[in-house]
Amino acid sequence: MEIKDLQRKLVAVLGYGQEGKAVTSYLIKHGIKLVLFDQKSWKDWDEIEKLEIRKLGVNFIFGPDCFKELKGFDAAFRSPGIKLSDIGPNIPLGHNAFKGRGESSAGMTISSQTKWFFEHCPCKIIGVTGTKGKGTTASLISEILKMQCQISNFKFQIHLTGNIGKIQPLEILDELKPDDYVVYELSSFQLQDLTQSPHIAVVLMVTSEHLDYHTDQKEYVDAKSAITRLQTADDFAVINSDYPNSVKIGELGKGKKVYFNRQTELSDILETKDLQLRGAHNLENVRAAVSVGKILGIPDDIIRKAVMGFKGLEHRLEFVAEKNGVKFYNDSFSTTPETAIAAIEAFIEPEILILGGSSKNSDFTELGKTIAAKKNIKAVILIGQEAGKIKSAIKTLTPNPSPRGRGETLAILEGAKNMAEIFEQIKSVAAPGDVVLLSPACASFGMFKSYVDRGNQFKDAVKSF
């Protein structure tokens, strides 16, 4: 389907979040008349948002039951968090609409920002997915390509987009040239209805995630498989062989397979001790980005310069400051046990951990084992809905943990209701030489608006420590 085809159709945009806004702007720009749907009731939008929506000059239907009004629409662009089951069983869909293979005049065709972008992008796409590490790896790849352009005086443009959220794909689609490169960070939500795979597919660690959205881990892995499943023999799949799910996804499709893992040698390009990124998991991200650079034929010295200069992303194992001899690291983006484990293992100094938050139906058994095994962990501060579940995982493996400041016994501190109270608990146990690590292993909702709000509050609190 081309943009001109939509001019003769009744089009819906489902969800007016970040992606919905980008889709709405793109369609209006191209003269498409649309109706905007959102399950958030009109009364719950603030006045600035209401003014913004009215200025669009489009019809809109808001409220929990809004999708009941979708009958009769020819096409709909869904936001990533909206499932077909949200739309409702009584809405006829085009043939195999969720997988995006084909359309039918008998029902509504479902698209999305990512699906539309992939179908209309004129240049090569480097796609990056994984349970965690997507943003760091995509940014690293982008920096390597930009360094190549800068040093070699190439004229093509590098565009970093997708789930990383800085620039929405449809904001750049019309300006792309055939020689450009797009580095696209891809979540399972975005991948699940694609009809084609990227030219280079990077599959990082794939464990378990978003089980509050996906039925089970199999559905989650299947959703991610579109990154490789539709590749041709001219494409490449860069695969982390340390993770069985990653290998399973990577081996799909006809793309050439390039494997890496934590043992992959990097010394021919750079010395890992000189990296600004900390943690073994970030070495995995570096190895993935270096593999992409080599596929593209970028000289080693350019790859080295780009990687060595990369400081990492905000809220991802971000060094905040050292105060009174205590170092603070903000890893608020960590919302799974696996990523918290990776962050915890990045340090040998005495650690004070901040764990917990809202539920994503995670299993904290391995996190408990890690905390029990690492003798440098002196205290754990537990917060939010999942505090009890994490505590149980720790106590099962750690004899008689007690909430006290110092000593050989692990201190478990509970009850903090906000960041100020968390820092009062930190002060009760912290000493010079310690590392305080915010790596919650959980979603942020409840105590905080988002992982960004959580991380920013943490950084603000460090200033006055």
Structure-block tokens of residue 285: 């991200």
> How much is the CA Rg of the chain, to the nearest whole Å?
23
In a domain, 313, yes or no: no
Q: How many CB atoms lie within 10 A of CB 28?
A: 15
Classify burial at 238, counting beta carbons within 10 Å of its beta carbon; exposed 0-12, middle 13-18, buried 19 or more.
Answer: buried
Which H or E run contains 290?
helix 280-295
Q: In this structure, are 162 and 91 located in the same domain?
A: no
The last residue of a domain, from among 68, 83, 111: 111
Q: Rounded to an integer, what distance in angstroms lies between the CA atom of residue 336 and that of residue 364?
A: 9
Q: In this structure, are 274 and 335 located in the same domain?
A: no
The last residue of a domain, from among 286, 308, 330: 308
Helix ranges (H only) for 318-430 are: 337-344, 365-373, 387-395, 419-429
Predicted pLDDT at 315: 92
CB 352 within 8 A of CB 381: yes
What is residue 148's DSSP assignment? H
Predicted pLDDT at 409: 78
In a domain, 25, yes or no: yes
Q: In this structure, are 273 and 155 located in the same domain?
A: yes
Q: In this structure, are 250 and 154 located in the same domain?
A: yes
Predicted pLDDT at 89: 65
Q: In this structure, are 249 and 341 located in the same domain?
A: no
Structure-block tokens of residue 256: 């050439």
In a domain, 57, yes or no: yes
Q: In this structure, are 294 and 326 located in the same domain?
A: no
Can you give the pLDDT of all 465 residues of the chain as single tens digits? Answer: 899 999 889 999 999 999 999 999 999 999 999 999 999 999 999 999 999 999 999 999 999 999 999 988 999 999 987 877 778 666 666 544 434 433 444 578 899 999 999 999 999 999 999 988 899 999 999 999 999 999 999 989 999 999 886 799 999 999 999 999 999 999 888 888 899 999 999 999 987 654 454 455 677 778 789 999 999 999 999 999 999 999 999 999 999 999 999 889 888 898 888 888 888 888 999 999 999 999 999 999 999 999 999 988 899 899 999 999 999 999 999 998 988 998 999 999 999 999 999 998 899 999 999 998 899 999 999 999 999 999 999 987 655 454 434 445 799 999 999 999 999 999 999 999 999 999 999 999 889 999 999 999 999 999 999
Predicted pLDDT at 207: 77
Q: In this structure, are 292 and 324 located in the same domain?
A: no
Q: In this structure, are 131 and 248 located in the same domain?
A: yes
CATH assignment at residue 66: 3.40.50.720
Tell me which residue range forms the domain holding 368: 318-463
Predicted pLDDT at 223: 79
Q: In this structure, are 89 and 142 located in the same domain?
A: no
Q: In this structure, are 98 and 13 located in the same domain?
A: yes
Q: In this structure, are 161 and 139 located in the same domain?
A: yes
Q: Is the entire prediction scored with pTM above 0.85? A: no
Q: Per the structure, how many domains does the chain have?
A: 3
What type of residue is 254?
A: K
Predicted pLDDT at 217: 66
Q: Look at the block and give the residue holding tokens 């400081």.
A: 311
| CA proximity to 411, closest of 371, 465, 369 | 371
What is residue 410's DSSP assignment? P
In a domain, 351, yes or no: yes
Q: In this structure, are 156 and 267 located in the same domain?
A: yes
Structure-block tokens of residue 344: 């915890």
The last residue of a domain, from among 111, 130, 147: 111
CATH assignment at residue 331: 3.90.190.20
Backbone CA torsion sign across 395, 401, 403, 407: negative
